[in-house]
Amino acid sequence: MKDNNYFYQPAEDSYFIAEIVSSYLGKIQENIKKEMKVLDMGTGSGIQAKTCIDNGIKKSNIYSVDINAGALREARKLGVRIIKSDLFYKLNKEIKYDLVIFNPPYLPESKHDKEKDTTGGKYGDETIIKFLSKLKNYMEKEGVCFLLTSSLTPHKKWMEIADREKLSVTQLSSKKIFQEALFIWKITY
């Protein structure tokens, strides 16, 4: 068990989704970007929030959410808004986000790894399923969500949830690392 000061450190997956976020934000006009509200779900090290800041999003419009106090202390250093919550549980339903970024724990539990920062439940997709079942309630109509998964993450069930929630899911990119592939999905409704 990791101590309370530990939070997920940037790795291949973090940098991969940051590249997608940076590319996306680079195509948006500055006057529109200034007003965008961003939800960095499961902020970890805050790398996605920092990517948004570096691309012109106002710090006051970035909401970094994590269940881990160490991660939130790290995000606070960036000057963004922080919320301690298990996914959407403590978020204000009145606030809708233009951009939602989620690099979730996506690996199946194993005898070697049962940590919440990497495993998304027994099968690996449980956190993603919970996230997708509430996402629409927190996204602007023209909003975009970027979600990262792995070839080790079961896709069938969360895709069914996305379909049930009338979310449009498009695979934007994939990248082979070690013995798995990472996927970035663009989700809209």
The pLDDT assigned to 107 comes to 60
Q: Quick check: 62 and 80 in contact, CB under 8 A?
A: yes
Dump pLDDT digits (tens) for 77-126.
Answer: 999 999 999 999 999 999 999 999 999 986 656 555 555 555 555 656 88
Per-residue model confidence (pLDDT) at position 1: 44
Q: What is the pLDDT of residue 188?
A: 98
Strands (E), the chain: 38-41, 62-66, 81-84, 97-102, 139-150, 168-177, 180-188
Per-residue pLDDT at 125: 85
Angstrom distance (rounded) from CA 131 to CA 111: 25
Q: Which domains does the chain have, with CATH numbers?
A: 30-188 (3.40.50.150)
pTM, to two decimals: 0.90
Which segments of the chain have a pLDDT < 70?
A: 1-6, 8, 106-124
